[in-house]
Amino acid sequence: MYKKFALQLFLCNMIFCAGWFCVKSVQVNRLASTPAFQIILTENNVQPKADRFFGLLRKVSSGQRIVDYEVLEKEDKYDLSEEDYEILLRIVQAEAGNEDEKGKMLVAGVVLNRVESSKFPDTVKEVVFQNENGVYQFSPVANKSYYSVNVSEETMDAVDRVLAGEDITEGALYFAARKYADSEKMRWFDHSLVRLFEYGGHEFFTSG
């Protein structure tokens, strides 16, 4: 009787131990199959401002670590030299310094439209300083105000947006401020060109 009881007790203990080891084995396997860390990508809602050469900075969360990386170069629609970029900034500031960002974008766009057109020279520098029969195409170059401007951050933002591909010019190749322009010159604009629209202090035209 005693031996039978002891045998039953021993068998119960063995069954209990076997069950306990099975549970632990499942827990260990589950732990082993869990990734060492889980990578969660989060994008900051307020992104740093992009510039022509370094693009956007983004933050990536990996576990408890924060990793910063840079997009080393932002792709522009127009491949300008540093000299042409500086000239474009200055002519936009000189022509549209009192305009809002859209007005500045329109002036920059007209200059770049001319660069792309077969009717005008092939670089920003040549377009801005084009002189036909002693007459400059842009009045700030003629009256020398081009050389004394201080380029604002808004002008840089406007030019960078246009260089990145934002075109709001509707194909304009000319612009004029009727209020300040010579009446003879405006007569030529009105009779020889197609008026597209007016924005701010400028009227915009294309070839007839």
Say yes or no: 133 and 179 in one domain.
yes
**Cβ(112)–Cβ(87) under 8 Å?**
no
Taking only the tens place, the pLDDT of each residue in 111-135 is 999 999 999 999 999 999 999 888 8
One-letter amino acid at 158 equals A
Which domain range does residue 168 map to? 82-207
Say whether 131 sits in a helix, a strand or coil.
strand
Say yes or no: 39 and 103 in one domain.
no
Say yes or no: 38 and 93 in one domain.
no
Say yes or no: 50 and 95 in one domain.
no
Structurally, the chain folds into a number of domains equal to 2
User: Is 184 part of any domain?
Assistant: yes
Say yes or no: 113 and 203 in one domain.
yes
Taking only the tens place, the pLDDT of each residue in 60-99 is 344 444 444 444 455 678 889 999 999 999 999 999 999 9
* Distance separating alpha carbons of residues 130 and 47, to the nearest angstrom: 40
